[in-house]
């Protein structure tokens, strides 16, 4: 982390998050398919990672000492791609090729298609395991890099997730932090109706993890929780980040129907109008 977390910096990050949201809407509207709710909900966290937390170099994506950001729930990749493009990994212009033929931006992230992706993801429950593998390699190579793994709440219904959670505790994997996007929705409805996850905090605690809970749409508190997680070395740490699915697009917020459908042109126009108004408001704030 290069900068002190000043109010100016927070404002800069909020503007980035807003910009990511606008790009998500544009990408999905152009593609005609994709997953807006989770992507919009995680825009603040992606802005925090790519423009503050990560020790990385977009001009040298294979830099061996870089921090690794592993996206487990690959379907929210529009937020990932938008953040990467804004950070300089590839031209912002390329975002409109999402899900189109001959694009490097596959519908779900494919590591070898696009420099800067750490894993291939989409099928759920596989990200924590892969992040653990990267962490073990870092341990063997005596590297100091940090590994962060972004997961969805829904994929905590996958057995593989808990296999990984057990393994990390046994092996005291402490150079990595898992973030759960706790937005309470999945394809078929609310997580607690489809297959209850609560008490999620106690589940992780009983598996031997340190647990932090935070408002995932508050960039300052999220960054503070990341700092806190890095200070915990005796066990792996998970941050349960409560987010609003569809965040900042009023007609999408907290509606599970927006998990997996793209906005139509008029809906996209309305969403962009709302987001641009918000951008103006952030700019004018002091």
Partner 1 sequence: MLNPDLKLNQNIFNQEIEQKPIRDGYGLALVELGESDPNIVVLTADLVESTRVETFAKKFPERFFEVGVAEQNMAAIAAGLAVSGKIPFISSYATFSPGKNLETIRTTIIYNRANVKIAGHHAGVVTGPDGATHQATEDLAITRSLPGLTIFSPCDVEEAKKVTLESVRVDGPVYLRFVRDKTPILTTAATPFAKDNLPVFWLSQNPTAVIFATGHLLFQALIAAKELEEDGIDVLVVNVATIKPLPEKELVGLVEKTGAVVTVEDHQVVGGLGGAIAEILARTAPAPIEFIGLQDRFAESGRLNDLIEKYNLGSVAIRAAVKKVIQRKK
User: Shortest distance, CB of residue 26 to partner 1, whole angstroms?
Assistant: 28
Closer to partner 1 by Cβ: residue 64 or 91: 64
What is the nearest approach in angstroms of partner 1 to the Cβ of residue 112?
A: 5
Q: How far is CA 278 from CA 7, 14, 249, in A?
A: 18, 10, 10
- In this complex, which beta carbon is closest to partner 1, that of residue 30 or of residue 133? 133
Minimum Å gap between C-beta 137 and partner 1 is: 3
User: Considering beta carbons, is residue 30 or 160 the nearer one to partner 1?
Assistant: 160
Q: Are 236 and 168 in contact (CB under 8 A)?
A: yes
Give the integer Cα–Cα distance in Å for 199 and 106: 35
Q: Smallest distance from the beta carbon of 166 to partner 1, in angstroms?
A: 7
Q: Closest CB to partner 1 among 142 and 284?
A: 142
Residue ranges in contact with partner 1 by CB under 8 A: 70, 110-112, 118-123, 125-126, 129-138, 140-141, 159-160, 163-164, 166-167, 171
Nearer to partner 1 among residue 72 and residue 218 (C-beta): 72
Least distance to partner 1, CB of residue 81, Å: 18
* CA angle at 176 for the pair 171 and 178, rounded to the nearest 5°: 105
């Amino acid at each position: 982390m290069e900068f002190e977390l000043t109010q100016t910096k927070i404002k800069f990050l909020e503007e980035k998050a807003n910009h990511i949201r606008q790009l998500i809407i544009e990408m999905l509207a152009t593609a005609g398919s994709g997953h807006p709710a989770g992507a919009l909900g995680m825009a603040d966290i992606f802005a925090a990672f790519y423009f503050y937390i990560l020790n990385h170099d977009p001009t040298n994506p294979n830099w061996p000492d870089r921090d690794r950001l592993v996206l487990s729930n690959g379907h929210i990749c529009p937020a990932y791609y938008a953040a990467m493009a804004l950070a300089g990994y590839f031209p912002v212009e390329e975002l409109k090729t999402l899900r189109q033929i001959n694009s490097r931006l596959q519908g779900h992230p494919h590591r070898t298609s696009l420099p800067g992706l750490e894993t291939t993801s989409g099928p759920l429950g596989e990200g924590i395991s892969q992040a653990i593998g990267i962490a073990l390699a870092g341990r063997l190579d005596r590297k100091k890099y940090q590994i962060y793994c972004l997961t969805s709440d829904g994929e905590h219904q996958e057995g593989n997730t808990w296999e990984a959670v057990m393994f990390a505790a046994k092996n005291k994997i402490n150079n990595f932090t898992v973030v759960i996007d706790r937005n309470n929705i999945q394809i078929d409805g609310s997580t607690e109706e489809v297959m209850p996850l609560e008490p999620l905090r106690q589940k992780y605690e009983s598996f031997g993890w340190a647990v932090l809970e935070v408002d995932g749409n508050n960039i300052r508190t999220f960054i503070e929780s990341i700092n806190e997680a890095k200070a915990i070395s005796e066990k792996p740490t998970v941050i349960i980040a409560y987010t609003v699915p569809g965040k900042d697009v009023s007609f999408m917020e907290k509606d599970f129907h927006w998990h997996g459908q793209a906005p139509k042109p008029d809906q996209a126009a309305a969403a962009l109008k709302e987001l641009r108004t918000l951008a103006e408001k952030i700019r004018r704030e002091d």
